[in-house]
Structures are given as structure tokens and as C-alpha cells.
């Protein structure tokens, strides 16, 4: 029985140590991510852009950009959209104002 108690105590110490190490790693990652985002240029619609109509369920970012004579990258940047797939249905995006 004493061996079982010692094994359990050792396991508890190891798991606690591992948790402390992992918390330190995650905390340092969070700090670097915050400092990087604090230095990042805030997104802002370029001059002459305005909120467009709500995006339909079948629209893609590329189609919306093409219809508005711009690029998907410019629309993404002006609207603070992350890289990769983004659900746009119902959203209103900043787009170049019509001529």
C-alpha cells in the first residue's frame, strides 16, 4: 500500500510540474501574440470605400471583389478579415464606392 501511495505522489508531482511548464509556454505565446498584434497596423477602409450591401449566401470574397473592381486581398485588408475561408453571408463589407 505504501508503494501505491508513493507512486501516486510521484505521479502527482510530475503532472503538476508538467502543468506549470505548459502554463509558462502558453503564457509566453500569448504575450508575443499580443505584442505582435499591438504593433500591427490597424485595418481601415481606404478613402473612398463605403459599406456595401449584405453579402449573399452564394457569394465568395473573390466574386465580391471582382464585381467591385478590386482584389480579394484589398477587401480582406480593408475589412480585417483573417486569411483562409471566411463566412460572409449577411455581412456588409467596406467596398470601393461606385463611380
Chunked mean pLDDT (size 10), the chain, 99 residues: 70 58 54 47 86 95 96 95 93 93
Whose CA is closest to 75, among 58, 92, 89? 92
Enumerate residues 6+ apart whose C-beta is below 8 A from 91: 54, 55
Q: Give the pLDDT of residue 6.
A: 77
Full-model pTM: 0.57
The answer to whether 51 touches 94, Cβ cutoff 8 Å, is yes
Q: Give the pLDDT of residue 89.
A: 96
Amino acid at each position: 500500500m505504501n508503494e501505491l501511495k508513493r507512486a501516486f505522489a510521484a505521479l502527482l508531482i510530475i503532472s503538476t510540474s508538467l502543468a506549470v511548464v505548459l502554463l509558462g509556454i502558453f503564457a509566453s505565446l500569448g504575450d508575443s501574440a499580443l505584442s505582435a498584434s499591438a504593433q500591427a497596423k490597424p485595418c481601415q477602409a481606404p478613402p473612398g470605400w463605403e459599406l456595401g450591401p449584405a453579402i449573399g449566401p452564394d457569394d465568395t470574397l473573390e466574386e465580391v471583389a471582382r464585381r467591385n473592381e478590386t482584389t480579394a486581398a484589398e477587401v480582406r485588408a480593408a475589412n480585417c478579415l483573417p486569411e483562409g475561408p471566411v463566412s460572409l453571408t449577411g455581412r456588409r463589407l467596406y467596398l470601393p464606392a461606385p463611380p
